[in-house]
Structure 1
Amino acid sequence: MEKVLWYLFAGTRGGENRARIIRVLFERPRNANQISEAVDLDYNTVRYHLEKLVDHDVLETGGEDYGELYFLTDRFERHEDEFRRITEHMED
């Protein structure tokens, strides 16, 4: 999981936006529209990043299509400290 986190957050151009998405999901689960508003990004951009995060087992979904909520996976939560270390380097 450590390599995946480095790739998703520090190894690609979208890493900063993905980190912002993760930070709002630490607060509570949200749907794509709520995330879009919280991070002030275009809905389609948020959907793209959500798809990447789901594909890499960082997020999981629950609920119906329109109101589908995004949750941090248990696997990701076990690596929260690593996420924080990686994103600290991004801010340097």
Structure 2
Amino acid sequence: MRRDYLVYTVSTTDLENMIKAFQDNKEIKSEAARKLSMHLTAVERFEGREDAGKVAKHMEAFLLLIDQQLEAERISETAYELLYSDATDMLAMWK
């Protein structure tokens, strides 16, 4: 039996848009949004080159950065959970 699956892909642009929306809703403080966005700028360069190893390495670091922002109370639980989930999906795509 054949099954068709909807494939959801995540990009740095998607994550950037989420960060901006969460910042607009006061769920991410400006300092955290700036750090997260700067990190994604580097990931985006490797994504554009289709350098899977470097995208994966930098996405692992991005996940740690999200953890740090939650611990420092610069990001809400909701923003953390959604960003972490999508970042994990993106990491899995590039591994």
Interval containing the TM-score (normalised by the shorter chain) = 0.3 to 0.5
Q: Which has the larger radius of gyration?
A: 2
TM-score (norm 2): 0.33
